[in-house]
Amino acid sequence: MPETLPDLLSALVRLDSTNPSLVPEGAGETHIAQFVVAWLAAHGIPTELDEAAPGRYSVIARVRGTGGGRSLLLNAHLDTVGTEGMPAPFEPTIRDGRLYGRGAYDMKSGLAACLLALLEVRDAGLRGDVILTAVADEEHASLGMQSVLARVTADAAIVAEPTELQVCTAHKGFTWHEITTHGRAAHGSRPDLGVDAIAHMGRVLGQLESLGRDLQQREPHPLLGHGSLHASLISGGQELSSYPERCTLLVERRTLPGETPEQVTREIDALLAGLAHEPQFYAEHRLTLARDPFGIAADAPIVQTLQRAAGQVLGQPPAVMGQTFWMDSAFLAAAGIPTVVFGPCGGGAHATEEWVDLASAEQCRQILTATIRAFCA
């Protein structure tokens, strides 16, 4: 079994765990989950598998405390995005202190750091439990995280997503919306009969653009800036010589802590209601998916404990930052578990060249270990 961080990370990168919900015929998490279970078992750490959907496995491991202490959950995801354009995605290569390969940065380095931290505290005699959840499907619908949270809880959690060794205390959420404008199909030569659904959607787009400008004028979040909105996909019409009877627009709205899906839905509904006076205008709107934003107070015990541990390892306190993208930390927080995000340095997440800085991954391991010892003592 690999014992050092570079060796363990290399072994993880060699395992294809492409999310099959993103890439048809993707390998999924079965093999990497089995590897993690075997690695933990070889080191005397009890584990169990959680199957959120057929073949979509997460791993739950626990180092039990002696009793009376606070519990801490470490979280990482097993799946990766696809590998199109990568010449050798599952052949880890080390150059100039960087390890290259799919998932090296997002986020198998964080997983390796969690595994080794768990091993280091196995015999520490801590009072509180230390739990690892290595979950499936984070890159798509978070089936693994949602399933695992039905079985575990903790007094706090650390998500080991890459943060460049900064302490992440907030990230944006998002909502997805479908807007459909309705017209009346007719021959292109009969404007007296036809109603143009695409032209009506043009009015909607203009109002959405105004709403986007308004979002930029609102009070910014101190770490995340402003919320945003954009038109993502549009389709409509039947053929060139006919008035289009239908046009559908898919919209994404990025949200800040304090903004709710209900609030965003009301704003878009009001926008459409403002167009209802237009002749023959008719539109429908529905919310198709929502993921909450995340935030935790800077003085929360887990944040303070992590900052102190990081300051000791790094020689100076780490910066506090927010991320624009969504993470499973939002589900942990929604389950009532105070959560912070912290992980190594690197680059190329979802890109054709992905890498992690190995020295930072080792520092991440040290910081996670020190945080566990302090929080669960």
Confidence of residue 279 (pLDDT cuts 50, 70, 90): confident
pLDDT tens string 239-259: 999 999 999 999 999 999 999
Q: Can you tell me the distance from the alpha carbon of 58 to that of 50, in angstroms, rounded to the nearest whole number?
A: 5
Q: Give whole-number Cα distances, 86 to 89, 350, 356, in Å.
A: 6, 11, 16
Asked if 322 and 223 count as a contact pair (C-beta separation under 8 A), the reply is: yes
Helix (H) or strand (E) holding 226: none
Q: Are residues 44 and 162 in the same domain?
A: yes
With vertex at residue 346, the alpha carbon angle to CA 344 and CA 350, rounded to the nearest 5 degrees, is 115
Q: What is the DSSP string of 109-146?
A: HHHHHHHHHHHHTTTS--SS-EEEEEES-TTTT-HHHH
Q: Are residues 163 and 75 in the same domain?
A: yes
Nearest CA-CA partner of 109 in 377, 362, 285, 323: 362
Asked if 164 and 345 count as a contact pair (C-beta separation under 8 A), the reply is: yes
Q: How many domains is the chain built from?
A: 2
pLDDT tens string 186-237: 999 999 999 999 999 999 999 999 999 999 999 999 999 999 999 999 999 9
Q: Are residues 13 and 32 in the same domain?
A: yes
Q: Are residues 145 and 266 in the same domain?
A: no
Q: Compute the average pLDDT of residues 77-93.
A: 97
pLDDT tens string 100-129: 999 999 999 999 999 999 999 999 999 999
Q: Which domain holds residue 189?
A: 173-291
pLDDT value, residue 20? 97
Confidence of residue 156 (pLDDT cuts 50, 70, 90): very high
Q: What percent of the chain has pLDDT over 70?
A: 100
Q: Are residues 126 and 18 in the same domain?
A: yes
Q: Compute the average pLDDT of residues 346-375.
A: 98
Domain boundary residue, one of 259, 291, 323: 291
Domain boundary residue, one of 276, 291, 306: 291
Q: What percent of the chain has pLDDT over 90?
A: 99
pLDDT value, residue 166? 98
Q: Are residues 64 and 130 in the same domain?
A: yes
Q: Are residues 9 and 147 in the same domain?
A: yes
Contacts of 230 (CB under 8 A, 6+ apart): 212, 251, 252
Contacts of 129 (CB under 8 A, 6+ apart): 62, 63, 64, 65, 69, 71, 72, 154, 376
Q: Are residues 326 and 360 in the same domain?
A: yes
Q: Can you give the C-alpha Rg of the chain in angstroms?
A: 24
pLDDT value, residue 1? 87
CATH of the domain at 26: 3.40.630.10
Q: Are residues 166 and 181 in the same domain?
A: no
pLDDT value, residue 278? 87
Q: Are residues 162 and 50 in the same domain?
A: yes
pLDDT tens string 42-63: 999 999 999 999 999 999 999 9
Q: Can you tell me the distance from the alpha carbon of 132 to that of 120, in angstroms, rounded to the nearest whole number?
A: 13
Q: Are residues 59 and 161 in the same domain?
A: yes
Q: Are residues 368 and 277 in the same domain?
A: no
Confidence of residue 153 (pLDDT cuts 50, 70, 90): very high
pLDDT value, residue 202? 97
